[in-house]
Amino acid sequence: VEHRRLWSKEHPAATADGRAVMLSANVGSIAEAEAAREIGAEGSGLVRSEFFFMRCTGYPSRDDQRVEYGGICEALSPHGVTIRLLDCGADKPLPYAGQKAEDNPYLGERGIRFLMERPEQLHAQVAAIADCADEGHPVKLMIPMVISPGEVRTVREQVQGDLQIGIMVETPASVLALHHLLPLVDFVSIGTNDLTQYILAVDRGNAGVARLYQEFHPAVLAAINQVVVQSHAAGVSVSVCGDMASRPDSAIALLALGVDQLSSGIDAIPEIKATIAQVSSHQLQALTEKLLGASEAAVAAAHAAELTAAVQ
């Protein structure tokens, strides 16, 4: 008989046998950070700074950004807050950026590529995040859509002092060349939404191919497994901030694959926390083998759903 752990808003998430799981929230504003705190999130593993930029009518200054990010940190204090550099483009165009129409916006100027072409905006944002760190907030900086070490180096060059810098692993390039990126980063966070889209060559927003958008596809699970194994070997912690962290069965699958931290949608947190509290480490271990052995997405998904249903 498993020991069933009680869970509550106030206590950190943990499995039935006491393995702590850092369960944080994805937020896009100070109001959302407050809601995340209310629901018991342990900080934020993803602040989508582009939502702040999209609420502004022109590029926010370093000071504007410091106030916004500082407010988010205060709302979630004393927990850590990971601020992602502006990830506009593709599905999140910035009206005042003057970006040209692109035939393939998901393969175009988005994520860090956008800021690499706009050094003054990169500088202002990195400086604002560093200001929050200087004010004593436990803040980290995260770079979206990375494909090359040069992108990490360019961001690092902007920082004086010891701000923690990590990358989103959401391109196949960052998975396959991770060994070249790991020496440059303090943490990684897997963006399963984009990673799934790019590994499977399936547009994440196209209803016509939605049935092919499979987060449990063996190639996606193998990529996540590879990222966890390689990162841990290098002493680097792994978070997931894609939607897989926002549904109980895929969240359980991520824990089975050894992910250290989940960053989930605010509304999903109570259900994810309750599910985690019911599973044990050995149930997760058994699931790992089933997930990595499945040759079809449906089979892997069914294994995760089976464990989730059994404990709910």
Q: Which residues bind ligand PEP (CB under 6 A)?
A: 46, 48, 87, 170, 191-194, 241-242
Q: Please, what is the minimum distance in Å from the beta carbon of residue 179 to ligand PEP?
A: 22
Q: Does 194 bind Mg ion (CB under 5 A)?
A: yes
Q: Is 170 annotated as a binding residue?
A: yes
Instruction: Name the residue nearer to Mg ion (CB basis): 190 or 272.
Output: 190
Q: Is 89 helix (H, G, I), strand (E, B) or coil?
A: strand
Asked if residue 160 lies in contact with residue 166, where contact means CB atoms within 8 angstroms, the answer is no
Say which entry of ligand PEP, Mg ion, none residue 241 contacts (CB below 5 to 8 A, set by partner kind): ligand PEP
Q: Is 186 helix (H, G, I), strand (E, B) or coil?
A: coil
Q: Which backbone phi and psi does 99 adopt, to 5 degrees?
A: -75, 140
C-alpha–C-alpha distance, residues 190 and 259, integer Å: 9
Q: Is 204 annotated as a binding residue?
A: yes
Residue of 73, 88, 132, 241 with catalytic role: 241
Options 118-126, 128-136, 184-192, 195-203: segment touching Mg ion (CB under 5 A) = 184-192
Instruction: Name the residue nearer to ligand PEP (CB basis): 9 or 55.
Output: 55
Q: Is 193 annotated as a binding residue?
A: yes
Tokens of 74: 């205060």
Q: Please, what is the minimum distance in Å from the beta carbon of residue 156 to Mg ion?
A: 21
Say which entry of ligand PEP, Mg ion, none residue 240 contacts (CB below 5 to 8 A, set by partner kind): none
Q: Is 234 helix (H, G, I), strand (E, B) or coil?
A: coil
C-alpha–C-alpha distance, residues 150 and 248, integer Å: 36
Instruction: Name the residue nearer to ligand PEP (CB basis): 263 or 278.
Output: 263
Tokens of 36: 């995340």
Say which entry of Mg ion, ligand PEP, none residue 273 contacts (CB below 5 to 8 A, set by partner kind): none
Alpha helices in 119-260 (DSSP H): 119-134, 149-156, 172-176, 178-181, 192-200, 218-233, 248-256
* Whether residue 241 lies in the annotated active site: yes
Q: Among 33, 44, 29, 32, which residue's Cα sits nearest to residue 261?
A: 44
Instruction: Name the residue nearer to Mg ion (CB basis): 32 or 170.
Output: 170
Q: Is 62 annotated as a binding residue?
A: no
Q: Please, what is the minimum distance in Å from the beta carbon of residue 103 to ligand PEP?
A: 20
C-alpha–C-alpha distance, residues 105 and 220, integer Å: 22
Tokens of 83: 């601020």
Q: Does 260 bind Mg ion (CB under 5 A)?
A: no
Catalytic residues: 241
